[in-house]
Amino acid sequence: MEATARKESQEKPKSYKFSLKTPYLEKGRITHLLAETENLWIHTKINAEGGENAIHAHLDEDHSFIVLEGEMTVFDEKGNELVVKQYEGVMIPRGAYYRYLNTGKGNLMVIRVGGGAQKQGGEEMRIRPDGKPLPSLSAENHHVEPVVIPGKFFGESVG
């Protein structure tokens, strides 16, 4: 009985704090993991230009983007668009096809929150309309390597 009680106390989840501090970019995009559990993950994403330019869906997660700075335009597979401004968000249900672009001035800073029945994993999570995987960092997804602006951060004051 004592061993069981000790094991339960060792496995008890603990709250923890995270920071939104993320570097600004001259070009490209970055995704920075802030926190995760088995069923929920939170990232910051900064786009100097562009976005996730190829239509894709995530079959194992619902997720949302919340714009903290800038403006993003989200497109579905038919070209319909949603303009998401600062302090607005967009919900993207599991299986919904989308792409997004930074359509504002300067860097686009968003929080990306995702959740699903399994922990976030590999590239097979993102699929094209033909059902084939779409790697996030691929040329097909119009990936541009990030170039950080030295010493300039979103959320700089949080340390």
Quickly tell me which residue has 């038919």 as its tokens: 78
Render pLDDT for 13-23 as a digit per residue (tens, 0 to 9): 999 999 999 99
Domain boundaries defined on the chain: 38-146
Quickly tell me which residue has 């800073």 as its tokens: 109
Least Cα distance to 28 among 135, 108, 142, 145 occurs for 145
Return d(Cα 133, Cα 57) in angstroms, integer. 10
Question: CB neighbours of 41 closer than 8 A, spacing ≥ 6?
Answer: 33, 35, 113, 114, 115, 119, 120
CATH annotation of 38-146: 2.60.120.10
Report the 10 Å Cβ neighbour count for 42. 17
Render pLDDT for 26-72 as a digit per residue (tens, 0 to 9): 999 999 999 999 889 999 999 998 877 899 999 889 999 999 999 99
**Percentage of residues in the chain with pLDDT exceeding 70?**
89
29-36 and 62-69: which strand pairing?
Answer: unpaired
What pLDDT score was predicted for residue 136? Answer: 80
pTM: 0.85
| 1 strand-pairing partners | none
